[in-house]
Amino acid sequence: IDNERLIGFATLPEQVHRKSVKKGFDFTLMAIGESGLGKSTLINSLFLGDFYQTRKQPSVNEMLKRTTSIQKHVTEIEERGVKLRLTVVDTPGFGDAINNEDSWKTSVEYIDEQFQQYFHAESGLNRRHIQDSRIHCCLYFVPPYGHGLRPLDIEVLRNLQNRVNVIPIIAKSDTLTPTEVKKMKERVLEDLRKNQIQIYQFPECDEEEDEDFKRQDKELKASIPFAVASSETLIDVAGRKVRGRQYPWGIVEVENPSHSDFAKLRTMLIQSHMHDLKETTQDLHYENFRAKAIARISNGTSRERNKLKRDSSADSPQEMLQQKEAEIKRMQQMISKMEAKLKAAGQPKSMRDSVIDL
Ligand code: GDP
């Protein structure tokens, strides 16, 4: 091919790629569950860091009066020139003290606030440097010692399901036998089903993918809720240093797939599903929030319009009325566009309903 005659757009994908590599990737993860379930140990093991270096262990007195406060830990990881800016949002007091059954509300409010901020920034004038702090994934920690989900878990999950991609985790799975893990998983799934709680839906695997990928995808889907054991201690196992938990009767190797689902969770978060989690946050959860926010604004404006109409005998300016009309029309168009987009994306019916049913 004659080089002179090429316009040069063939390098576009490369440019986009280079640009995003330079900018880096952002990912925000939230961990919810009562303290002591191993949230920080898991996050540190997942990302091989120490997010919680500065964390002080609260005293008993502090624990008792502690309210839920949100903590944000940010770290930048670089691997082969690709930057990942990882933010972990932790809700330390959840379920700790007596009478703080409502403490999870802080987390739900936090998720909404990030949406609200983004919505505000997106409709503002300077849209080029939007700070995006929306939560892409919420790891929900279920204690290993119960019998499935507790009423509190159900209440919290019900409030999270339409706001964020929820991935349920059975914490400290090394305290259960393989049979108990299996039973616990079945119970959690059954409780989710009975209570019609939607967790993160893994996308369908492409038919064209190779067999290895298909098998991995199937295994991943079959492992939910992930039963995870984690540890920050390195142990010597036959000359290899592995993360593990040493017991008098043996070693639980964190990354060994026959010991825990830790490796599966990490693969899915970092390698296979990070992009989909971000896309679902944008296309499903954020659009849902946005549609409701627009409907609220448009309700407000139509009330104002009616008021103006009522007052029209007085000297209310005709121009103002026309402006409001145009604004409402624009918003209605935006809502129809969104509905069409959701339909095209083949969202589950329940989602379409919840958007239309504003
Ligand atoms: P957080 O309050 O939820 O962040 O919990 P931590 O990560 O601070 O862990 C609380 C305690 O549980 C610590 O003593 C950890 O060593 C221990 N722990 C963490 N993960 C596991 C696990 O997977 N299995 C077991 N048996 N213990 C764990």
The tens digit of pLDDT for each residue in 155-207 reads: 999 999 999 999 999 999 999 999 999 999 999 999 999 999 999 999 988 88
Of the listed ranges 24-33, 63-72, 109-118, 266-275, the least confidently predicted one is: 63-72
pLDDT for 59 equals 47
CA distances from 80 to 23, 26, 84, 156 (A): 14, 16, 11, 39
Of the listed ranges 11-25, 102-116, 143-157, 248-262, the least confidently predicted one is: 11-25
Q: Does ligand 1 lie within 6 Å of residue 230's CB atom? A: yes
| Higher local confidence (pLDDT), 80 or 197 | 197
Give 237's DSSP letter: E
The tens digit of pLDDT for each residue in 279-304 reads: 999 999 999 999 999 888 887 777 76
When pLDDT is cut at 50, 70 and 90, the band that residue 254 belongs to is: confident
What is the Å distance from ligand 1's center to 65 Cα? 22
Torsion angle, alpha carbons of 351, 355, 357, 358, to 10:
150
The percentage of residues in the chain with a pLDDT greater than 90, rounded to a whole number, is: 32
- Report the mean per-residue pLDDT for the chain: 80
pLDDT for 196 equals 96
The tens digit of pLDDT for each residue in 31-56 reads: 998 888 898 889 888 876 555 544 44
* pTM as predicted: 0.77
- Is the pLDDT confidence value at 240 over 90? no
What is the Å distance from ligand 1's center to 40 Cα? 7
pLDDT for 129 equals 74
Whole-number Å distance between alpha carbons of 117 and 356? 23
3-state secondary structure 58-85: CCHHHHHHCCCCCEEEEEEEEECCEEEE
Q: Does ligand 1 lie within 6 Å of residue 36's CB atom? A: yes
**Ligand 1 atom with minimal separation from the 175 CA:** 26
Q: How many CB atoms lie within 10 A of CB 2?
A: 5
Q: Does ligand 1 lie within 6 Å of residue 229's CB atom? A: yes
End-to-end CA distance of the chain: give it in Å, rounded. 56
Q: Does ligand 1 lie within 6 Å of residue 91's CB atom? A: no
